[in-house]
Amino acid sequence: MRYLRLGVNIDHVATIRNARGGRHPDPVRAAQAAAGAGADGITAHLREDRRHIADPDIVRLVEEIDLPLNLEMAATGEMLEIALRHGPHAACIVPEKREERTTEGGLNVIQGHNHLAPYVRALQEAGIRVSLFIEPEREALDAAVALGAPVVELHTGSFCEADIVGDAAARARELRRLADAADHAERIGLECHAGHGLTFDTVGDVSAIPTLVELNIGHFLVGEAIFGGLESAIKRMRSLMDKARAEASGARSA
């Protein structure tokens, strides 16, 4: 059975901090709590407008956290310079629009090939693992290979939205898209991750996809932390992931 890694996104701890200013709650402290609760990595998105994670947070995360740091970044000169300066373990290139509340979909890796290629190359030459945040579509996966990226992260937003509105048919269809995309990714040599909007109710079905290697989850965990604590939320998420992966592996063996 392949182990499924959990990356914890701490962006929205910083969102709460920034709502009032000052230093509390501290996203680096949240990263330390995540490490203690079983997270395998920390994800942080440094946005152009610095709406949550700020530059000093990145400095501290690199210096004070033992877990691998996955820096989510737009394909801009400013973000490339920051990534190259701090040298995180990984950089996930994501689309970014100033007016959006959160990332609304995957990168257009087909039409954006010429723009993205220099960023992928520069990050890889610096020894930073590059991933591309994309829709679960075969054409996007093939385009990621053409760009030379070794990793993709599938956007799970449509699957999670279908669950929220109770559309069982759409939920099943989107889960199939994710599974098919993850299988295709493995066939063409890509390491496949997934994330966006995952909850206790949706993580099991996604975790059961055997060709996924990592899930990145943030907003839901920070929200649950209000009611029961961050470490408790992460431990429960970790447990649900492990249970679903083990049950799926057992069913395939049988």
3-state secondary structure labels for all residues of the chain: CCCCEEEEECHHHHHHHHHHCCCCCCHHHHHHHHHHHCCCEEEEECCCCCCCCCHHHHHHHHHHCCCCEEEEECCCHHHHHHHHHHCCCEEEECCCCCCCCCCCCCCCCCCCHHHHHHHHHHHHHCCCEEEEEECCCHHHHHHHHHHCCCEEEEECHHHHHHHHHCCHHHHHHHHHHHHHHHHHHHHCCCEEEEECCCCCCCHHHHHCCCCCCEEEECHHHHHHHHHHCHHHHHHHHHHHHHHHHHHHHHHHHC
Tokens of 108: 């257009």
Using the Cα atoms of residue 32, residue 33, residue 39 and residue 42 in order, give the sign of their dihedral.
Answer: negative
Catalytic residue among 12, 86, 184, 196: 196
Please report, as a single letter, which amino acid is at residue 63.
E
Backbone angles phi, psi at 215, to 5 degrees: -115, 140
Does 231 participate in catalysis according to the annotation? no
Please confirm, yes or no, whether 89 is among the known catalytic residues. Answer: no
The one catalytic residue among 12, 45, 86, 155: 45
Active site residue 115: no
Q: Which is the catalytic residue, given 72, 137, 174, 224? A: 72
Catalytic residues: 45, 72, 196
